[in-house]
Amino acid sequence: MKELWKGSHAMAEAAIRAGARLYCGYPITPQSEIMEYMSERMPQVGRIFIQAESELVSINTVYGGALTGNRCVTSSSGVGISLMQEGITSCFSKGLPILIINVNRTGAGMGGGGGEGGSFSGGQDDYTRETHGGGNGYYRNLVFIPDSIQEAVDMIYNAWDIAEPYRNPVVLYTEGRLAQMMEAVEMPEFKEREPLDWGVDGTSKEMKEYRAMNKEYYKYKQRIDLMRENEQQWEEYLLDDAEVVVVAVGLCSRVCRGSINKLRAQGVKIGMLRPKAVWPFPQKGFDALPKSVKKIVCVENSSGPEMLEDVIVAMRYTDHLKTVPVYSSTREGLIPTKELIPFLQGVIDGTVKEVG
Amino acid sequence: MAKEMKTPERLLRVPFCPGCGHGIFVRLMQEVIEEKGLSERYISAVGVGCSSNSIGATYGGNIVEAHHGRAPSVTRAMKALRPNCFVWTYQGDGDAYAIGMLETIHAANADAPISVFVINNNNYGMTGGQSAPTTLKGQVTTTSPYGHDGNPIDIIPQLMTYEHVGYIARGTVTSAAEIRKLKGYIRKAVDMQMNENKYSFVEILSPCPTNWHKSPIEACNWINEVVTQKFPLGEFRG
Ligand SMILES: Cc1ncc(C[n+]2csc(CCOP(=O)(O)OP(=O)(O)O)c2C)c(N)n1
Ligand code: SF4
Ligand SMILES: [Mg+2]
């Protein structure tokens, strides 16, 4: 049965139903409601809620919890996630599949300067940090980005099942608006998983196991290569005969979908490739694009082009896309609306300049 | 009557400089853990510093590494998820009172049922003897060649303001008598966590002959004569 849920509450409930044993967080707009929800709900279901005194505490608390082999989750935004980077890269190196819910606010530094929508409506400004690692060393997190509250719920519900075999941190990356809005959601059932064999439990054998972990995944590059090969996720929308392909993620892709529908009604052969995982980036989705593609348009809800770099790299590695022109649209952290159709029309007519 | 001193089963080696206090603490802790039957039921998070040399000093056991200053957060979660284990931190003074002061204060205030052990050697030992928040005024270190400007922080008066904290003590390792007393403090800290489910704290004034440029005996004398003036020894709570 579908019920009306606020985004932040729905994401929190999904993490609980996915088996979160411990949540630790520190308040920061636009996602403090996740933490408030957790403080009420976690004790009701016999789980642990800890309020941190900084994001350093949040990340190191979930690090400790995950060392015991339990599913642990934190959430934050902007500068809060910046502060966690030391701990996140260590969760990677120690092979700890923690879940981080990252609700993007807008802008560099303290945030703000986001234009009409204010700093908290969120955008996709932290795209590069999330997908390419903000901490030290060669590492990657699995990063999923939903276009609806339902998809956020489903992604969170499956996050640990995907991340645990790799022993890798996983990020649900979304925008302030998604956390703040309400939509109808089908909430999944509670799920339990077998206790994992590697957690520290006080007996002496465990230390060796947690250090050794699965040999295959202990080698960082090998683990990253495997995830890159196996965990790409994307949606194809009206691509079969497409000449113009929009690449967009998250809430931004919903606006693109509407614009594409309108242009299709006018006979324009336009479709969308929507990455659902932004790391690993869906190279295979680009490989599968039809030969009819003449133009690629990267539409981002960020203050400047970020995903564009991944799009260009993906095209570089796809034989039939190497010389296809690419166009970029960004909107200062606001979801593009009225301007998008004229912009796409300009791309089609050749009045908008290609990137480069 | 002769008494046999047995080395704790799990103690493999003591990978510290000669005359260092860390090694004595590691051994005492293993003795207490063995005596209390906790050998298969403990987890410790070691901070960043010479305490991290102890990884590999003991056989097995669940020793995990914590980021610099974060061991109280790490153990707080571990205790919550493994409540039947004795869960403790093993930190340095730089770890606990500089970069990790936030955790030190808040884990105690939050009533987390963990035990915190801090080796106070008045400097950042592992990185080469730089000055720390515990360095005495005027003390010469590798980053205070003209004498340290700051004042040494004593955390215990602050911890004393938390009524619910179960046990607070400061010991040292400068003589057999002091080592025996310290072992008693460690026992009580363990009991406070395991029997009363309360937070316990023990600081250990510890010689760092290498960075103090003193012989082990001179280092102990300096603790007894000078350091204890600023950092008084004894049990303060419990
Ligand atoms: C975030 C971070 N900053 C700096 C360091 C470098 N570092 C390693 S050990 C250490 C000093 C530790 O001093 P203390 O906690 O007093 O322990 P001791 O070695 O004196 O026992 C520092 C600063 C680090 N590992 N991590
Ligand atoms: S540097 Fe100092 S604290 Fe570290 S092992 Fe040597 S004597 Fe001990
Ligand atoms: Mg020190």
Return the residue whose CA atom lies nearest to atom 5 of ligand 2.
Answer: B16
In tens, the pLDDT along B166-207 reads: 999 999 999 999 999 999 999 999 999 999 999 999 999 999
Residue from A60, A91, A136 to probe the interface with B (highest B Cβ count within 10 Å): A60
What is the four-CA torsion angle of A255, A261, A264, A265, rounded to 10 degrees?
A: -130
CATH number of B14-237: 3.40.50.970
A82 Cβ neighbours under 8 A, 6+ residues apart: A129, A134
pLDDT at A117: 42
Residue from B11, B40, B81 to probe the interface with A (highest A Cβ count within 10 Å): B81
pLDDT over threshold 70, residue A257: yes
Give the mutation target among B141, B208, B214 for probing the ligand 2 site: most ligand atoms within 8 A of CB.
B208
pLDDT at A113: 46
A9 Cβ neighbours under 8 A, 6+ residues apart: A33, A34, A37
pLDDT over threshold 70, residue A309: yes
pLDDT at B57: 78
**Lowest mean pLDDT across A14-18, A125-129, A167-171, A191-195:** A191-195
pLDDT over threshold 50, residue B126: yes
Comparing CA positions, the residue from A302, A237, A240, A307 lying closest to residue A272 is: A237
pLDDT at B116: 98
Comparing CA positions, the residue from B153, B76, B163 lying closest to residue B118 is: B153
Q: What gap in Å lies between CA A56 and CA A67, rounded to an integer?
A: 17
Kindly determine whether residue A206 and residue B62, on different chains, have CB atoms separated by under 8 Å: yes
pLDDT-based confidence at residue A210 (cuts at 50, 70, 90): low
Q: Listing from the earlier edge strand, what are the strands of the sheet with A295-300?
A: A234-237, A270-275, A244-247, A295-300, A326-330
3-class SS of residue B87: strand
Nearest CA to CA, how far is B62 from chain A (Å)? Answer: 5
CATH number of A235-349: 3.40.50.920
Q: What is the DSSP letter of A319?
A: G
A38 Cβ neighbours under 8 A, 6+ residues apart: A12, A16, A23, A25, A49
pLDDT at A114: 45
pLDDT at B4: 77
Task: Check: CB of residue A13 under 8 Å from CB of residue A41.
Answer: yes
Using a 10 angstrom Cβ sphere, with 0-12 exposed, 13-18 middle and 19 or more buried, the burial of residue A99 is: buried
Taking the CA of residue B51 as reference, the ligand 1 atom at the shortest distance is 21
Q: What gap in Å lies between CA A253 and CA B205, rounded to an integer?
A: 60
Residue B49: CB within 6 Å of ligand 2?
Answer: no
pLDDT at A343: 93
In tens, the pLDDT along A216-254 reads: 556 788 899 999 999 999 999 999 999 999 999 999 999
Q: Is B80 within 8 Å of chain A by CB?
A: yes
pLDDT over threshold 80, residue A87: yes
Q: Which pair of structure tokens corresponds to residue B114? A: 């963990």
Q: What gap in Å lies between CA B155 and CA A102, rounded to an integer?
A: 35
pLDDT over threshold 60, residue A310: yes
Higher local confidence (pLDDT), A187 or B11 = A187
Q: What gap in Å lies between CA A303 and CA A27, rounded to an integer?
A: 24
Task: Tell which CATH classification among 3.30.1490.20, 3.90.180.10, 3.40.50.970, 3.40.50.2300 matches the domain A2-230.
Answer: 3.40.50.970
- Tell me the mean pLDDT in the region B119-132: 97
Comparing CA positions, the residue from B133, B110, B132 lying closest to residue B199 is: B110
Please report, for chain B, the start and end positions of each structural domain, with discontinuous segments joined by +: 14-237
pLDDT at A214: 52
Q: What pTM does this model have?
A: 0.94
Please report, for chain A, the start and end positions of each structural domain, with discontinuous segments joined by +: 2-230, 235-349
The Å distance, Cα B216 to ligand 2 centre, comes to 11
**Reported ipTM:** 0.93
In tens, the pLDDT along A42-57 reads: 999 999 999 999 999 9
pLDDT-based confidence at residue B131 (cuts at 50, 70, 90): very high
pLDDT-based confidence at residue A332 (cuts at 50, 70, 90): low
Give B-chain residues touching A57 at CB under 8 angstroms: 70, 73, 102-103, 106
Tell me which residue in A22, A54, A63 faces B74 most closely, judged by beta carbons: A63
Taking the CA of residue A86 as reference, the ligand 1 atom at the shortest distance is 1
